């Protein structure tokens, strides 16, 4: 249930212009959220009706009066249809997949149409972006707003409009919305290939201390992000908790990807190189750690490690 | 924003439908021109032809404007304006790019539809209006729906919108205040050819009308229909003759005395009636001899003829009153002179015949002339033989076959030659009563000409020489009915049930047309005031009417809103509804079920927070889960659940 608005909130111009601020969702587009105004075409339509009405009055022409009033009726009724097309829609935020700088960040939005009828031509308008039009079948419809990721860090979806001009394009009903939704943007991986040489003391002389994928070495408790292929299902089946298998092998190395290895570059360039290294190290499947000023990620491997490292790079310099 | 192809196709279809009736009215060369423009547009949409280059569009524009100019000699006025609009609409189609262009085209389409009403407002055109608006609305919907063609859906939705708009249209039509005067200048006359009585009479032009079944006007009497021999509908009065044709006195010069309204003393109570006149592109308004009231916008002249200030180019309705028995005022010198004038040297034999009567009293002269028509072998014929250089002589002494105009012209010639002031009056005579709706239909075939003579005792007296021809000398059987009754000829002769039914249908259809004319086309300031007064709606003045109008429209919108909300409401199944009702009851005591919370988790939480409710709470949850996910039989368990929720009253 939506909380009632105070009178001041209800008639606030800021609410009309900017929406109600970032919200968690799902958001129900109820009466107080859906605005409606004539479009340019609607204003022109009004002018046309007045012109035909003047003609009808001057010529005292019964059928022209009928036409005028029929068009006026259509215009008025279309307000309700347009308004109803948006009213009662629920908007919820989906989970955003992280992207690299230079890619398109895709913000999935769940548009739940709780009515028995489809809602045609629902328009999403991101701030400063182009309209995207969708027909919404009854039920939940997933749609996307794409925004270019130009900067690493957290890209906010920002304010956007859910709108519709259906059926006659004479009126536009809309709701300004801001969902608490962001997309993690990793730095763009630098073009240079190749991993840094192993740091002294980092790779063990015994050669089998590190984690590889060849020979089973031991078990440790499962961390979020560990590859499912390495889960020790036998212990899981015995309800002894979920464990991850650790392997050791000749190929296993422990590599430190460190900020200090890249002197003389500026921050973003360093982060880009580190990003490339993380990707390469992950592709090779070695165990690697990331050492940044103020943040050290201990050596590990697998999708979880990759995500932890890229996230640290993306948010480098942010306050935790 | 580019236009979806299906939207463009709908637009084209809707515009073709809107232009079609116009094309049939425009000069012939418009048809290939417009077909070419529409065809090119179709090729653009279906075959991806390019838009025509700029120079070609300019050329086509010039050709179109040139064509309108040569066809109409002007670019303004109703007809030329409509033609120009058609040309521009066709051209605009060829540069359709954005939604804005499409909207402009659709709005121009509305103007074309409205423009057509200036020319024709028949019931068919009214029905076609709905088709046009339906198609244009469907086009608007298709243009507003880029996702793809759902043609049936567009038509259905357009129909729904139209259906919901209709009550608003009716309310506005009835209650929106109508003005009694036009807002600006006088509308230009339409060029459509006039049918009916004209401002002059040459021997034969009325007989061209006799076969026309077209309606001239319809009359609804407030009271009984007067007898057929009094139904003389007065039109142009013709004074001036060259021996062959008869003309208005104002055709050559417009004397001042003519515009002074004629005076007369009435000898009976007035007959009140409403006359709905079909457009005839002239000024005169037909009224029963003699008109007693002069409505707004109309003048009465010295000939007792009603003249509209504007040409009657659209159907008009008049509230009139007439006296059928009267004595007119004195005869002025000008009228006396004009009423005796005959062209010298024409029709000498007729003048000789009349010269024998000059010494007789006026009434006897009239009777002598009528006796001549009755006693000599004169025939009433719809196809009289041609007449020579002395037409009246030929008619009176040789052919002796003629139509009403022959008799009227010959009679007036004889009167004038005998020294009795006389004139020809044209108009209509009789009419037939529509038994379905009890009004009189006067058709072009009822066109008539008769005479008026000046008698010192009575003033102007109507004499209809045609009426004295005995029935056996009337060639067409139906013509004998004319002066005797207003009943339909066909019903009297009773030519079998099929014809009877046909006549019945014809009357019914005419009654529908009459209602259309009275209530749709003739609904003006006057009619509106009458209706609102009769309904008692004018008690609070026009403000009251406007308030009523707004309230009624709001009520219609409320009904539409409720309909839309109900139609869009989700069809939830009964089980979910019952469980939601249960959750709602818990909400009231402060226990909200979180969106992610399953029924079991929720029940567990409720049980911990409110151990007193645990029993019934577990029962409801168990039933719900079993119904939803288990094998419980809906028929037996659903009522149990419903009952359990019903008796659940947490406090």
Q: What's the confidence (pLDDT) of residue B13?
A: 93
Tell me, yes or no, if B448 is annotated catalytic: yes
Q: Starting from the edge strand earliest in sequence, which strands make up the sheet with A132-136, in order?
A: A35-38, A171-178, A159-164, A119-126, A132-136
Choice among B289, B303, B448, B514 that is catalytic: B448
Identify whether residues A225 and A302 lie together within a single domain. yes
- Give the three-state DSSP class for B651: coil
Q: Are B114 and A56 in contact (CB < 8 Å)?
A: yes
Q: What's the confidence (pLDDT) of residue A250?
A: 41
Tell me the torsion sign for CA atoms B310, B313, B317, B321.
positive
Tell me, yes or no, if B404 is annotated catalytic: yes
* Chain A residues lying within 8 Å of B565, measured CB to CB: 84
Listed as ranges, residues in chain A with pLDDT below 50 are 1-2, 200-212, 249-251
The residues, any chain, with a CB within 8 Å of residue B488's CB and separated by 6 or more, are B432, B433, B435, B503, B507
Residue A166 CA to residue A122 CA, distance in Å, equals 8
A-B Cβ pairs (cutoff 8 Å, strict): 170
Q: Are B161 and A74 in contact (CB < 8 Å)?
A: yes
In a domain, A160, yes or no: yes
The residues, any chain, with a CB within 8 Å of residue A320's CB and separated by 6 or more, are none
- Give the residue with greater pLDDT, B108 vs B180: B108
Give the end of a domain, one of A167, A186, A205: A186
Q: What's the confidence (pLDDT) of residue A5?
A: 63
Q: Which of B204, B197, B207, B265 is nearest to B233 (CA)?
A: B197
- Give the three-state DSSP class for B393: helix
Q: Are B179 and A80 in contact (CB < 8 Å)?
A: no
In a domain, A33, yes or no: yes
Residue B147 CA to residue A134 CA, distance in Å, equals 7
* Chain A residues lying within 8 Å of B110, measured CB to CB: 48, 52, 67, 71
Choice among B464, B479, B510, B514 that is catalytic: B464
Q: What's the confidence (pLDDT) of residue B287?
A: 92
Residue A203 CA to residue A302 CA, distance in Å, equals 18
In a domain, A255, yes or no: yes
Helices (H) and strands (E) in chain B, counts: 20, 19
Q: Which of B203, B271, B267 is nearest to B231 (CA)?
A: B271
In a domain, A202, yes or no: no
Interface test with A, best of B6, B89, B103, B525 (most A CBs within 10 A): B103
Tokens (6 digits) for A156: 């906010």
pLDDT band at B624 (very low <50, low <70, confident <90, very high): confident
Alpha carbon B475 to its chain's center = 36
Burial class (CB in 10 A: 0-12, 13-18, 19+), B213: exposed
Tell me the torsion sign for CA atoms B579, B585, B588, B592.
negative
In a domain, A90, yes or no: yes
Q: How many CB atoms lie within 10 A of CB B628?
A: 12
Which of A44, A60, A117 faces B107 most closely, judged by CB atoms?
A44
pLDDT band at B451 (very low <50, low <70, confident <90, very high): very high
In tens, the pLDDT along B418-434 reads 999 999 999 998 888 88
Q: Are B126 and A63 in contact (CB < 8 Å)?
A: yes
- Give the residue with greater pLDDT, B401 vs A47: A47
Q: What's the confidence (pLDDT) of residue B571?
A: 57
Of A10-14, A49-53, B149-153, B170-174, the range with the lowest mean pLDDT is A10-14
Tell me, yes or no, if B34 is annotated catalytic: no
Q: What is the CATH number of the domain that holds A101?
A: 2.60.40.3770
Structure ipTM = 0.78
Q: How far is CA A157 from CA A182, A188, A263, A313, B527, in A?
A: 6, 20, 35, 21, 62
Secondary structure (DSSP) of A53-97:
HHHHHHHT-HHHHHHHHHHHHHHHHHHHHHHHHHTT-EEEE-PPP
What is the domain partition of chain B in residue ranges?
Answer: 5-144, 200-493, 574-646
Choice among B45, B289, B390, B404 that is catalytic: B404
On the question of pLDDT at B194 being above 70, the answer is no
Identify whether residues A51 and A177 lie together within a single domain. yes
* Chain A residues lying within 8 Å of B117, measured CB to CB: 61, 63-64, 67
Q: Are B568 and A58 in contact (CB < 8 Å)?
A: no
pLDDT band at B492 (very low <50, low <70, confident <90, very high): very low
Interface test with B, best of A26, A63, A131 (most B CBs within 10 A): A63
The residues, any chain, with a CB within 8 Å of residue A251's CB and separated by 6 or more, are A212, A214, A286
* Cis bond before residue B418 (omega within 30° of 0): no
- Give the three-state DSSP class for B550: helix
Range list of H helices, B181-339: 333-338
Q: Which domain holds residue A296?
A: 215-314
Identify whether residues A21 and A133 lie together within a single domain. yes
Q: Are B165 and A167 in contact (CB < 8 Å)?
A: no
Q: Match 């379905």 to its residue by tokens.
A: B436
Q: Are B114 and A77 in contact (CB < 8 Å)?
A: no
* Chain B residues lying within 8 Å of A84, measured CB to CB: 561, 564-565, 568
CA distance B600 to chain A (A): 22
Decide if B365 contacts B456 (C-beta within 8 A).
Answer: no
In tens, the pLDDT along A148-173 reads 899 999 998 888 999 999 899 999 99
Q: What's the confidence (pLDDT) of residue B229?
A: 84
Alpha carbon A43 to its chain's center = 36
- DSSP code of A248? E
Identify whether residues A180 and A31 lie together within a single domain. yes
* Chain B residues lying within 8 Å of A69, measured CB to CB: 168-169, 172-173, 176
Residue A177 CA to residue A318 CA, distance in Å, equals 26
Q: What is the mean pLDDT of residues B192-203?
A: 66
Q: What's the confidence (pLDDT) of residue A36?
A: 94
In a domain, A277, yes or no: yes
In tens, the pLDDT along B306-328 reads 988 888 877 788 889 999 888 88
Query: Over pLDDT 90: what percentage of chain B?
Result: 21
Give strand pairing partners of B369.
Answer: none
In a domain, A103, yes or no: yes
Secondary structure (DSSP) of A226-242:
--GGGB-HHHHHTTS--
Interface test with A, best of B4, B109, B110, B187 (most A CBs within 10 A): B110
pLDDT band at B206 (very low <50, low <70, confident <90, very high): low
Q: What total number of domains does chain A contain? A: 2
In a domain, A291, yes or no: yes
Q: Which of A256, A320, A253, A265 is nearest to A292 (CA)?
A: A256
Q: Are B157 and A168 in contact (CB < 8 Å)?
A: no
Identify whether residues A162 and A288 lie together within a single domain. no
Identify whether residues A179 and A282 lie together within a single domain. no
Q: What's the confidence (pLDDT) of residue A216?
A: 62
Whole-model pTM: value is: 0.70
* Average pLDDT in chain B: 84
Q: Searching chain B, which residue's CA lies closest to the CA of residue A51? A: B111
Interface test with A, best of B516, B568, B573 (most A CBs within 10 A): B568
């Amino acid at each position: 249930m939506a909380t009632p608005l105070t009178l001041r909130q209800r008639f606030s111009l800021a609410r009309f212009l900017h929406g109600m601020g970032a919200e968690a969702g799902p958001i129900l587009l109820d009466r107080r959220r859906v605005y409606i105004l004539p479009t340019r075409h609607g204003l022109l339509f009004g002018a046309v009706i007045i012109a035909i009405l003047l003609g009808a009055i001057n010529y005292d022409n019964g059928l022209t009066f009928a036409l005028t009033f029929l068009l006026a009726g259509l215009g008025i009724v279309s307000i309700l249809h347009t308004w109803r097309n948006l009213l009662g829609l629920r908007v919820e935020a989906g989970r955003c997949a992280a992207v690299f700088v230079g890619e398109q960040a895709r913000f999935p939005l769940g548009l739940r149409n709780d009515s028995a009828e489809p809602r045609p031509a629902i328009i999403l308008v991101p701030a400063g972006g182009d309209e995207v039009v969708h027909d919404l079948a009854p039920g939940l419809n997933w749609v996307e707003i794409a925004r270019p990721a130009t900067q690493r860090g957290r890209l906010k979806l920002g304010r956007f409009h859910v709108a519709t001009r259906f059926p006659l394009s004479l009126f536009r009903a809309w709701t300004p919305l801001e969902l608490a939704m962001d997309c993690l943007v990793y730095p763009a991986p630098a073009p240079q290939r190749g991993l840094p040489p192993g740091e002294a003391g980092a790779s063990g002389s015994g050669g089998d201390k590190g984690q590889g994928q060849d020979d089973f070495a031991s078990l440790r408790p499962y961390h979020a992000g560990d590859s499912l292929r390495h889960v020790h299902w036998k212990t899981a089946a015995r309800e002894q908790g979920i464990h991850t298998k650790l392997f050791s092998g000749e190929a296993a190395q422990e590599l430190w990807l460190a900020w200090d290895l890249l002197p003389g570059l500026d921050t973003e360039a360093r982060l880009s190189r580190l990003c490339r290294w993380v990707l390469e190290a992950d592709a090779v499947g070695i165990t690697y750690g990331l050492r940044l000023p103020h943040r050290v990620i201990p050596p590990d491997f697998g999708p979880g490690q990759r995500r932890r490292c890229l996230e640290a790079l993306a948010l480098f310099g942010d306050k935790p | 924003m580019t236009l979806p192809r299906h939207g463009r196709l709908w637009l084209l279809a809707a515009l073709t439908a809107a232009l079609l009736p116009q094309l049939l009215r425009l000069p012939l060369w418009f048809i290939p021109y417009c077909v070419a423009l529409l065809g090119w547009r179709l090729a653009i949409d279906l075959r991806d032809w390019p838009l025509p280059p700029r120079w070609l569009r300019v050329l086509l524009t010039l050709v179109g404007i040139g064509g309108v100019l040569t066809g109409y000699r002007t670019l303004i006025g109703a007809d030329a304006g409509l033609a120009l609009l058609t040309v521009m609409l066709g051209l605009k189609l060829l540069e359709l790019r954005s939604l804005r262009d499409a909207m402009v085209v659709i709005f121009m389409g509305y103007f074309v539809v409205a423009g057509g009403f200036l020319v024709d407002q028949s019931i068919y055109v009214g029905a076609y209006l709905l088709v046009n608006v339906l198609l244009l609305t469907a086009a608007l919907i298709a243009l507003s729906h880029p996702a793809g063609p759902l043609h049936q859906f567009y038509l259905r939705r357009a129909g729904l919108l139209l259906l919901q708009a209709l009550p608003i249209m009716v309310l506005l039509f009835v209650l929106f205040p109508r003005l009694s005067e036009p807002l600006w200048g006088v509308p230009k006359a339409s060029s459509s050819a006039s049918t009916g009585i004209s401002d002059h009479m040459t021997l034969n032009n009325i007989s061209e009308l006799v076969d026309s079944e077209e309606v001239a006007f319809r009359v609804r009497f407030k009271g009984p229909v007067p007898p057929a021999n009094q139904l003389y509908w007065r039109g142009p009065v013709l004074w001036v003759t060259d021996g062959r044709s008869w003309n208005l006195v104002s055709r050559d010069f417009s004397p001042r005395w003519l515009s002074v309204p004629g005076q007369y003393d009435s000898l009976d109570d007035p007959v009140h009636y409403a006359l709905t006149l079909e457009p005839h592109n002239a000024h005169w308004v037909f009224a029963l001899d003699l008109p007693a009231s002069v409505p707004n916008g109309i003048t009465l002249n010295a000939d007792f003829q009603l003249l509209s200030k504007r040409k009657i180019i659209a159907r008009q309705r008049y509230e009139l009153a007439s006296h059928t028995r009267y004595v007119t005022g004195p005869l002025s010198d000008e009228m006396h002179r004009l009423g005796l004038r005959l062209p010298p040297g024409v029709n000498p034999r007729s003048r000789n015949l009349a010269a024998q009567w000059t010494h007789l009293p006026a009434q006897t002269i009239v009777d002598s002339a009528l006796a001549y028509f009755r006693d000599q072998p004169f025939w009433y014929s719809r196809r009289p033989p041609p007449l020579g250089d002395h037409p009246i002589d030929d008619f009176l002494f040789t052919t002796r076959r003629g139509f009403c105009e022959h008799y009227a012209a010959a009679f007036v010639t004889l009167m004038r030659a005998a020294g009795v002031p006389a004139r020809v009056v044209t108009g209509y005579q009789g009419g037939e009563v529509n038994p379905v709706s009890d009004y009189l239909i006067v058709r072009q075939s009822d066109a008539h000409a008769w005479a008026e003579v000046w008698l010192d005792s009575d003033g102007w007296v109507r004499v209809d020489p045609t009426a004295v021809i005995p029935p056996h000398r009337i060639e067409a059987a139906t013509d004998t009915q004319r002066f005797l009754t207003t009943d339909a000829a066909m019903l009297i002769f009773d030519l079998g049930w099929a014809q009877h039914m046909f006549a019945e249908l014809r009357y019914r259809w005419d009654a529908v047309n009459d209602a259309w004319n009275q209530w749709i086309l003739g609904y003006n300031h006057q009619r509106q005031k009458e209706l609102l007064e009769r309904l008692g709606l004018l008690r609070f003045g026009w403000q009251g009417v406007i308030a009523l109008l707004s309230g009624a429209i709001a009520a219609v919108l409320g009904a539409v809103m409720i309909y839309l909300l109900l139609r869009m409401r989700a069809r939830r199944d009964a089980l979910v509804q019952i469980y939601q009702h249960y959750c709602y009851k818990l909400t009231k005591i402060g226990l909200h079920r979180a969106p992610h919370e399953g029924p079991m988790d929720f029940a567990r939480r409720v049980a911990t927070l409110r151990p007193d409710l645990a029993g019934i709470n577990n029962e409801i949850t168990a039933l719900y889960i079993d119904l939803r996910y288990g094998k419980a039989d809906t028929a037996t368990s659903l009522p149990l659940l419903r009952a359990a929720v019903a008796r659940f009253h947490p406090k």
